[in-house]
Structure 1
Amino acid sequence: MSSDLWSFSLTTYARPGVEQACLQLQSAGVNVCLLLCGAWLGQRGVAFDEQRLQQLRGVATSWDIDVVRPLRILRTQWKAAATEDADLHTLREQVKGLELEAERHLLLRLERAAQSWPQNAETDLAAWLEGAAAEAAHLHRDALHQLRVAVTGT
């Protein structure tokens, strides 16, 4: 597994079934960057606790609301029209790139927030994933399981 959160996220997201699982959770209101951060922390053996999760939520929430979501909304709004307008398609692809870059910055912020937390404790992957998915965890157990399998290989 990758040592930095961005590389870990790219590698994990590229595994079979993970993109679909993340999109399903995202549509239920889950912050996928926070979820991937939880997976990364769990894989690294960082012990889960609610205070740490809340600290990460504090980092993620405002950036997600103020930066990532507006770009995602704009990209989504242009989807249908961009299929028939080449100029709009080009602009939509640029917005998509900005959205990805905004997510990369969020992952960097989350990594910095967690950098001093001790590693190599007993893995708390399930606790991190369920904590990050919060209220959607009970509705999307299959998606969380898919992510857990992608991280652990089991």
Structure 2
Amino acid sequence: MSLNNPPWQSALKLYGSAGVEQAALELQQAGCSINRLLLACYLAQQGLQLESSLLRGDALEWQQAVTHPLRAVRYRVREQKAQRDDLDQCYRALREAELACEQVELMMLWQSLSTANLCSKPSGRELAKANLEQVLVEAGITDPACVDAPLGVLIAAAFPDPLVSG
């Protein structure tokens, strides 16, 4: 499968939407995976209901064994970079490597879609909310109300109101 796949292209577009990066990072701090949040939105746009089993398997193992440790190293370098300008190039390389790892993880999630029997639903905000709530459950977040604001940003970006001009 290709690293440059439809979920990846969708993720890049959605993540670049106004307010999404900040909302996604807030949700990541709460324990969610940004890739899984973006996948939930992509599936909702396709009219597909997310199954929690998709959030596990090889992609989760990759995330835990590769992406998360690399992110931890990047965060440590970022802290030290505040006192040492000579670490900037190292930090940027780690950030690019982390993004490449995220792309591999999203490809693995996409691969799992090929064998999944997902239910078709009407595409829209309600499906996006239901899909995102699956991600919250998998992340162990039991009170979705505590992350309503950033979830709202993701849903609004994935399904912009056609009556609002921007």
> Structure 1-normalised TM-score?
0.87
* C-alpha contact (below 8 Å) 1:31/1:133 kept by paired residues: no
- Write the distance in 2 (CA, Å) between the matches of 1:128 and 1:79: 33
1:59 CA displacement: 3.6
* C-alpha contact (below 8 Å) 1:44/1:119 kept by paired residues: no
| 2:130 corresponds to which of 120, 123, 127 | 127
Paired position in structure 1 for 2:156: 149
* C-alpha contact (below 8 Å) 2:54/2:109 kept by paired residues: no
- Write the distance in 2 (CA, Å) between the matches of 1:130 and 1:139: 12
RMSD: 1.9
User: Which stretch has the larger CA shift, 108-117 or 125-134?
Assistant: 108-117
Greater fraction helix? 1
Q: Give unmatched runs, 5+ long, in structure 2.
A: 162-166
Q: CA 1:119 to 1:131, structure 2 compared with 1: closer, same or farther past 3 Å?
A: closer
Paired position in structure 2 for 1:44: 46
Paired position in structure 2 for 1:18: 20
SS in 1 for 2:146: coil
* Runs of 4 or more consecutive aligned structure 1 residues displaced over 4 Å after TM superposition: 116-120
Matched positions, count: 149
Letter in 2 for 1:97: E
1:80 CA displacement: 2.7
Identity %: 28
> Structure 2-normalised TM-score?
0.81
Paired position in structure 2 for 1:88: 87
Letter in 2 for 1:122: P
Paired position in structure 1 for 2:66: 67
1:118 CA displacement: 5.8
Q: Give unmatched runs, 5+ long, in structure 1.
A: none
* C-alpha contact (below 8 Å) 2:40/2:131 kept by paired residues: yes
Letter in 2 for 1:77: R
